[in-house]
Chains A and B, each alone.
Chain A
Amino acid sequence: MEREHFSKLYDAALNEIREKLLVMGGKVEVMITNAMKAIVERDSDLAERTISFDHEINHLEVEIDEKCLQVLATRQPAGRDLRFLTLALKIVTDLERIGDQCAAIARRAIELNQEPQLKPYIDLPRMAHWTGVMVKESLDAFVRGDDELALKVCLDDQFVDDLNEQIQRELLTFMMEDPETISRAIKINYISKCLERIADHATNVAEMVIFMVKGKDIRHTID
């Protein structure tokens, strides 16, 4: 069980950061879901709303950064508190980037919705679903300090990478058969790449969680 600090204010500050990160993570998950929904349901309104929602993510990034700096300056944290704070500073960056990727997906969605649908979307929603799961699980692992769940996220990344490759291959066949499809195929390809990046960000978070819990850096060791 986690002991409390002598200073209740110190605990409160760390908890505030933890909670804000979770809020940010929750918002990012919603963005992934909505960006995908905007494509599948051809809903450009939802896409617009997803793009403007990115402001909230950016705002939280700044807030969490400030809070972390404040605690670093006033408490000179050590040990797991130091690991937690440096991790929080990195996690916000990853979450903020995920928000950017979602906004980029939503922009492509608006463009795609102005043309006839190239093909039924099957793998893309699957990929979005698993990417969302990875983001959620990486944050769950962070909150619970669950290094096993974090390791699962790292390993799941391969599945998303494989889906991305599969989608790219499929799109290539479309483009070779009919040059008319190239512009749409490139956009879908871009979306697939965005999802793959989001999964990478979730993997980053998961790797950092393992460092926070075990004090062991596993970055660039899993292939």
Chain B
Amino acid sequence: MNTKVQLENLNVYFGQNHAVKSATMDFRPNSVTAIIGPSGCGKSTVLRSINRMHDLTPGARVTGRIIFDDMDIYDRSIDPVLIRRKIGMVFQKPNPFPAMSIYDNVLAGYRLNGRIDRNEADEIVEASLKRVALWDEVKDRLRANSMELSGGQQQRLCIARTIAVKPEVILMDEPASALDPISTLKIEELIEELKEKYTIIIVTHNMQQAARVSDVTAFFYLGDLIECGETKKIFTTPDRKQTEDYITGRFG
């Protein structure tokens, strides 16, 4: 199967504001898709609609369909909690739970699904931290407060918390924009590794980052999906002039 998530004629409104206009596109499994575009183009809105984060936003309305595997995630019968377990989210600012230890942070999402025994918990914590390349840095202080970690470490901890619940898709909203260059490169490398197991959709303002980490790039402008294609093509020979002007720094 070559599509993990599919937008079909997706529209998102906030009151009178038509934020995303009839977007139709596919997200390939085990690959990284970057969504780029100037502020207010609707890229974060698209990302958030994929795990139903607009459900509780007053005045927000979503039409069209988002198909995840064979499931329409906006179908009335679908439990949003299930969707969010399958489709995880990593935010711009690292947001570990401040009162919790590193260990408990990793398990925070997993525990919502019910009680787990000690051995299972240990395994999940170790596996998740190893997967985000944080294990060696924190294995001796798992009970320490998560706020003791650096920003980059906190962000990797948040990614560990996301993958601990075994999602299939990971949404990332500017995951490295609050981090220093080295931590940013670590996150980028991690993204490259994570795509073996997950489908990753990333929103970023940093075009070089999109060019570096993604396989496919979608360019949004004023709520319209202007162009979507192989990243190497979008950044060298895009089809649309608007895309070219944006990636070359001529407007946006």
Contact = CB atoms under 8 A, between A and B. Distances in A.
Contacts of A190: none
Interface string B201-235: 00000011001000000000000000000000001
A81 B237 contact: no
A6 B251 CA distance: 7
Contacts of A79: 235-238, 243-244, 247-248
Contacts of B208: 76
Contacts of A81: 248
Contacts of B249: 5-7, 10, 75
Given A3-B250, A5-B250, A80 B244 contact: yes
Q: What's the interface size class on A, roughly?
A: 10 to 19
Contacts of B235: 78-79, 82
A14 B124 CA distance: 53
B211 A3 contact: no
Contacts of B122: none
A26 interface: no
Interface in A162-186: none
Contacts of B75: none
A77 B248 contact: yes
B245 interface: yes
B140 to A, nearest CB: 39
A65 B244 CA distance: 25
Interface string B85-119: 00000000000000000000000000000000000
A78 B250 contact: no
Among A3, A5, A77, A78, residue most surrounded by chain B Cβ atoms (within 10 Å): A78
A165 to B, nearest CB: 37
A218 B206 CA distance: 32
Given A78-B211, A78-B236, 8 more contacts: A5-B248, A5-B250, A10-B249, A79-B235, A79-B248, A80-B244, A82-B236, A216-B237
Which 5 A/B pairs are nearest by Cβ-Cβ distance?
A215-B237, A3-B250, A78-B247, A79-B248, A79-B244
Interface of A: 3-7, 10, 75-83, 215-216
Interface of B: 207-208, 211, 235-238, 243-245, 247-251
9 contacts: A3-B245, A7-B249, A10-B249, A75-B249, A78-B235, A78-B247, A79-B237, A83-B237, A215-B237
